[in-house]
Amino acid sequence: MKEDTFFPGIPQDIYSIEAKGLVDGARLLIEHVEVKTDSVVVDMGEGIVQKPGAIKIMLPAGIDSVNGYVYIPGTDIFAALGNRGNYVVLDSVPAGRGIAVDYSVSGGAILPNTLAENISVVPESTVTMVYSAWLHNKKYTSTPRNPGQTYQGTWSISPF
């Protein structure tokens, strides 16, 4: 059952709450906890402490693999790229839905860029995400409603 939680004296902002089991490594992440100045009562949402999963992020071409890093905003979960090849893995990610992964460069040389969002992490599993802004071209074959007819062509998806 969800209850109001009291956080007196905390500055107005939007927070994330993380819980980490010291013995079993179980984790919980509650994002977008809004604290308002006119109230010490916070509506937190619900969560379940459970075994973590992992996110494998396929890296786009042209990123700074020396100074770059990926992270889950509002948490301490990150991985430096350190000249890695095509991907990086964020380990010990709390299971849940709606998780985003951002990319940035040490020293603030560029603004953070979202590589993937609305990720669903399953306990003890790894989900692989492809950078969603890449241009994709695929060949397709479509079977229309009339038997015996097929269409072939190319479709593409590109960022706006």
Provide DSSP, 55-68.
EEEEPPTT--TTTE
> Which position has the higher pLDDT, 52 or 148?
52
Distance CA 138, CA 82 (A): 32
Distance CA 115, CA 2 (A): 32
pLDDT at 126: 94
Residue the block writes with tokens 């079993």: 24
Distance CA 11, CA 13 (A): 6
> Which position has the higher pLDDT, 26 or 140?
26
Mean pLDDT of 98-114: 85
Give the Cβ contact number of residue 37 at 10 Å: 9
- Is residue 21 scored above 70 in pLDDT? yes
Whole-model pTM over 0.85: no
pLDDT at 70: 94
Give pLDDT tens digits for 67-80.
899 999 989 999 99
Residue the block writes with tokens 């819980």: 19
pLDDT at 131: 62
pLDDT at 2: 52
Residue 149: band (very low, low, confident or very high) from pLDDT cuts 50, 70, 90: low
